[in-house]
Chain A
Amino acid sequence: MSVSVPVGQKPPHRRLLHRLFLALSGEYIWFYLLLIPSIVLLVCVVIIPMVFAFKMSLGNTTVVTVGGKGSIQSVWVGLQNYVNVLSNPYFWQAFRDTVYFSVVSLLIEVTAGVAMALLMNQQFFGRKVFRVIVFIPWAVPTVVNAMLWGMVFDGDNYGALNDLLLRMHWIQTPVIWLDPAPLFQGIPWLSSFISWLGGSVAMNSMIVGDEWRTLPIVAVLLLAGLQTIPHEYYEAAKVEGASAWRQFQAITVPLLGPILSIVLILRTMQLLRAFTLIFTLQQYGLPILSIEAYQQAFSFGNFGAGSAISFLIGILSLLIAVVYIKRLYKEEM
């Protein structure tokens, strides 16, 4: 960019062209060429479909076959799909179930995830191997994980978990782990409270199955965070006679905080789009939001309503994404 041109003397459009020419002929041409494929991919595969989804959600969009030609046609209905979706109790039930699924999972990750990370950070025999083993479930494909937990939670007495519990005489009859029935039926008020929150036996089983696969990544990332805390801090605390709990409160929690919050935000977004595990084991029996969207579109052929729901999930995720990205930039500062 060593050639300097007195740009002020040219009419604006010429100025622009000239700049473009310079950009394209100089070494900066690489810059734009390198960026173009990614931008094209982004526009074609994310932005256009998003806009298209919004357009579909504003119409009664269905498959129509006329005169031997198939097509998907959209009859403009404005925001009617959104009104229908938001006034439908099923949607709110699905919303509640999704929130329950996400919140309980996050609670487990905050507690058990942190505990696992702390454990991995201790000195003990075989620690290196332990760290590798703990990470393995994360590599198991989600569908395989679903099938595996389907076998574990089989409600017949030859289901793995039932067999174990029956052998140990902890239960007398097999438990139906995948049944969307209320929990703790012996204690009515607790049972109805948890049902009201969206919890059921099946939902909690789903959470356990999902956590088996996702706790490792949470724990391993938190471990990486723990390892960045200088050891001297703990040494100093020890000299001052601080208890282990006090050290945890005063050093670990504040210093682990940033990475913990980022991991949790990431997980929230993953939980909102959870689909595979629940769909494979329950089909439409436990309709969380993404399954509701899928059913509307691909089972009922209601692409308008399906798009509306998925657009809502998209907006919700984007809102959380903004929080996340802001957080990232704050870290960078």
Chain B
Amino acid sequence: MLLRRASKKFFLYACVIVVLLWTLSPLYFLMITSLKQYVGTITFPLSWFPTPFTWKNYAIMFTNYAPDSISYRFLHALLNSLIASSATTILNLVFGSAAAYVLSRARMRGKNIITMIFLASNLLPTVALIIPFYVLTVTYLNGWNLYDTNTLLVIVYSSFSLGLVIWIMRGYFDSIPTELEEAARVDGASRLVSLLRIILPLTAPGLLATGLLTFLTSWDNFVLPLVLAPDASAYNLPFFIYSLNGQYLHLNNEIAAGGLLSAIPPVIIVILFGRYIVSGMTAGAVKG
């Protein structure tokens, strides 16, 4: 019996180690590559330590700022990513949760259908919309000068996550009894005040989860900038990493450094708030 338990434990820890290796070894490889000089990346046998060592791949992302330099492109991409992702998140939270509130509370015919349409829109593949969107932007809407701008990206990103925000938030609103609101209104609060004072705090976990989800999706987007904003003035971090690869040498060490830097914000988010994101997703996906 004891032996069986011991072997069971052994098997358990063996599995844990295998999963950890699978998860972490690619990241470890990325890290050592980012700390190597270029020749270290084309040496056989490959060193699994950062030799010859250098910080330079990170340094170039921040120093020698001049038009078209790597630092210029990196910092602009970083700023663009931050702005576009944050703006999308705020826009989605405000509009999305407002719409979700209405769809939860209003005694309106067809509100389920509207919710479904929103959800379906979220499930459409990017590539199905990118071609018409591109054509509309450069032809009929040309006068608005939207091509190659962050504004355009924010608008398009929003449409790709709004449905999910509405869906998840509606679930949260549905789970709050209407009596709570009515009680507040008896005390003289208007619907808006009761929404802000009573409902919002109760749905805070949902807002956090959907907000972070939106942020992560926007941060990761590659196809939209590829087609709609390829210029250095608007492109985001994924496109920057891609453009590093497109030059005359595959400088894997620089790509690795840029890649790790651009992965830091989302990784931190997942480490700190992963639990909330999962509970938000399951609340939306399962409980409804």
* A interface residue numbers (CB < 8 A to B): 27-28, 30-32, 34-35, 37-39, 41-42, 45-50, 52-53, 56, 61, 71-72, 116, 119, 122, 124, 126, 130, 132-144, 147-152, 156-160, 163, 166-167, 212, 216, 220-221, 224-225, 258-259, 262-263, 266, 269, 272-273, 275-276, 280, 290, 293-294, 297-298, 303, 306-307, 310-311, 313-314, 317-318, 320-322, 324-325, 328-329, 331-332
Contact = CB atoms under 8 A, between A and B. Distances in A.
A263 B282 CA distance: 10
Interface residues of B, number: 96
B64 interface: no
Interface stretch (B68-76, B176-184, B199-207, B260-268): B260-268
A53 B129 contact: yes
30 contacts: A34-B98, A37-B95, A37-B99, A38-B95, A39-B99, A42-B159, A49-B132, A49-B136, A53-B131, A116-B19, A119-B12, A124-B12, A124-B13, A130-B19, A133-B20, A136-B270, A141-B263, A143-B222, A147-B256, A147-B259, A163-B45, A290-B126, A297-B134, A307-B132, A311-B128, A317-B125, A318-B123, A322-B120, A325-B116, A331-B286
A259 B286 contact: yes
Contacts of B279: 224
Contact of B159 (A46, A297, A317, A322): A46
Nearest to B271: A132
B109 interface: no
Contacts of B166: 38
A159 to B, nearest CB: 8
B135 A303 contact: yes
The 10 A-B residue pairs whose C-beta atoms are closest, nearest first, are A273-B125, A314-B128, A45-B159, A332-B288, A144-B259, A38-B99, A34-B98, A143-B238, A49-B132, A53-B132
Interface of B: 9, 12-13, 15-16, 19-20, 22-24, 26-27, 29-30, 33, 41-46, 95-96, 98-99, 101-103, 105-106, 108, 114, 116-121, 123-136, 138-139, 155-156, 158-159, 162, 166, 190-192, 216, 219-220, 222-223, 227, 237-239, 241-242, 245, 252, 255-256, 259-260, 262-263, 266-267, 269-271, 274, 278-279, 281-282, 285-288
Contact of B274 (A28, A132, A147, A273): A132
A155 to B, nearest CB: 13
A276 B222 contact: yes
A307 B255 CA distance: 33
Given A141-B266, A158-B46, A224-B279, A38 B121 contact: no
Contact of A321 (B120, B127, B136): B120
Chain B contact residues: helix, strand, loop or mixed: helix
Contacts of A45: 129, 133, 155-156, 158-159
Contacts of B13: 124
A193 to B, nearest CB: 28
B245 to A, nearest CB: 6
A210 to B, nearest CB: 13
B271 A314 contact: no
A186 B121 CA distance: 46
A319 to B, nearest CB: 11
A96 B46 CA distance: 37
Given A46-B121, A133-B20, A147-B245, A27 B159 contact: no
Chain A contact residues: helix, strand, loop or mixed: helix
A144 B220 CA distance: 9
A139 B133 CA distance: 28
A139 B266 contact: yes
Contact of B125 (A61, A143, A269): A269
A8 to B, nearest CB: 20
A143 to B, nearest CB: 4
A166 to B, nearest CB: 7
B271 A158 contact: no
A297 B219 CA distance: 25
A50 B128 CA distance: 8
B95 A141 contact: no
A225 B286 contact: yes
Contacts of B156: 45
**Most chain-A CB neighbours within 10 Å: which of B123, B227, B238?**
B123
A166 B45 contact: yes
Contacts of B256: 147-148, 151
A158 B23 CA distance: 21
Contacts of B138: 72
B102 A152 contact: no
Contacts of A50: 124, 128-129, 132
Contact of B26 (A71, A212, A220, A280): A212
**Most chain-B CB neighbours within 10 Å: which of A152, A163, A262?**
A163
A2 B170 CA distance: 27
**Most chain-A CB neighbours within 10 Å: which of B108, B125, B129, B266?**
B125
A258 B285 CA distance: 10
A163 B282 contact: no
Contacts of A331: 286-288
Nearest to A322: B120
A290 B222 contact: no
A106 B13 CA distance: 26
A170 to B, nearest CB: 14
Contact of B29 (A48, A130, A151): A151
Contact of A135 (B33, B129, B270): B270
Contact of A31 (B102, B130, B219): B102
Contact of B128 (A32, A35, A53, A158): A53
A162 B176 CA distance: 56
